[in-house]
Amino acid sequence: MNTIATDIRNDFPILSREVNGKPLVYLDNAASTQKPSVVIAAIKNYYETINANVHRGNHLLSQLATDAVEQARDKTQAFINAAEREEIIFTKGTTDGINTIASSMTSMVKSGQNVVISALEHHSNIVPWQMLCERTGAKLRVIPINQKGEWILEEGLSLIDEHTAIVAVNHISNALGTINPVKSLIEHAHRFDVPVLIDGAQSAPHMAVDVQDLDADFYCFSAHKICGPTGIGVLFGKRERLEALPPYQGGGEMIKTVSFEKTTYAELPFKFEAGTPNMAGMVGMGAAIDYLTAHGMNKLKAIEDELLNYATKKMSAIEGMRFYGTAEKKASVISFLIDGVHPYDLGTLMDKFGVAVRTGHHCAQPLMDFYNIPGTVRASFAFYNNKNDVDVMVEAIEKSAMMLR
């Protein structure tokens, strides 16, 4: 494992820099991942050699740019195994994808209906649904969790009924790392013909995803969490679900014909892609997908699983350690507190040792309320981390805690 990991690390230029005079130990991957040279080069190459607006020009550069972004769509289709390329909508990111569906659904939701989410959601999979409920009079229902941070599935399933407009849940919790049984949930929702949106912001980076196997109706993720650039992401939707929805935004790209009397909309995917898209972003994301696919998601997951086990074991020995999120099935995220130490102080001191972790509520305040804590310290691992990173982190936690107690 170590030789593989060393090769991989050389692909990421930022990993060789120092912070605060110490080698960088980057453990904030659940917030955003670092970028390999091939992604940076693809973006540079796009601007240096083919940049032009897409889909509307008949000059060579416009065609080259169009080919490049449409290839990125094909790569994305293959990455999550969507049935058709037209089911891949480019967005700004996960948040944008969720808002697109929540906004587009407005005219189809009635008061008396309900929207089902879970207690593990990121704010970006809570607030858009609350806003939909406010617009329509629908009610929000929340799948409860146990102390380990797992859904209480039976109770969750019982919340779904013939009045449910949509179920929207994350595949993997960014705050705790819980891998949720979304397939069972989807199967149950489909008995009532209820569509299910999966917030895949944390599953796209950490496992092989197959939207057809899951039978997900919608699946969203962000490029910046899969080693791609910021400002670009994906909304997958089953063709029949997307065709049933009105467009979210109007403008160029998304129309077939426009007159002052009537506008007709473009076919999928363009119906949901108003305006000049983030072309360099799409190309960069395509390069990131190529990079991950070349290594193989299963191999990368195995590296992360090994790191998770190693880190969990080592951290368990730290005095006063309390883990939040101890689900049977977990991705490489460790949320914790040390007795008598404020998480913010701990994170700040760890940074002095070169260790980048996140402290706070992780955009999941209701979840922190469930545990009755203001927040946690979160170490989240990517496949380019190694055991040395874990060792440095553990030493940083111990030394920092000693200074703070």
Ligand X SMILES: *Cc1c(COP(=O)(O)O)cnc(C)c1O
What residue ranges bind ligand X (CB under 6 A)? 30, 93-95, 122, 124-125, 170, 174, 199, 201-202, 222
Other Cβ atoms less than 10 A from the Cβ of 134: the count is: 10
Tokens 């229902």 — which residue?
Answer: 141
Verify whether residue 363 is a known catalytic residue. Answer: yes
Nearer to ligand X, 10 or 32 (CB): 32
DSSP state of 180: P
Instruction: Take residue 387 and report the two structure tokens written for it.
Output: 């055991």
For ligand X, give the closer residue by CB, 27 or 30.
30
Q: How far is the CB of 98 from ligand X (least distance, A)?
A: 7
Nearest distance in Å: CB 195, ligand X: 18
Q: How far apart are CA 88 and CA 86, in angstroms?
A: 5
Residue 335's contacts (CB-CB under 8 Å, 6 or more residues apart) are 175, 176, 177, 323, 324, 325, 362, 376, 377, 378
Closest CB to ligand X among residues 277, 354: 277
Rg (CA), the chain: 22
**Closer CB to ligand X, residue 95 or residue 335?**
95
Q: Please, what is the minimum distance in Å from the beta carbon of residue 364 to ligand X?
A: 8
Distances (CA, A) of 376 to 121, 169, 301, 345, 390: 16, 22, 24, 11, 18
Q: Tokens for 287, please give them.
A: 């390069």
Q: Which is nearer to ligand X, 5 or 172 (CB)?
A: 172
Q: How far apart are the first and last CA of the chain?
A: 37
Pairing type for strands 139-143 and 255-258 reads unpaired
How far is residue 36 from each of residues 70, 78, 116, 363, measured CA to CA in Å? 22, 21, 37, 26
Q: Which residues are catalytic?
A: 363
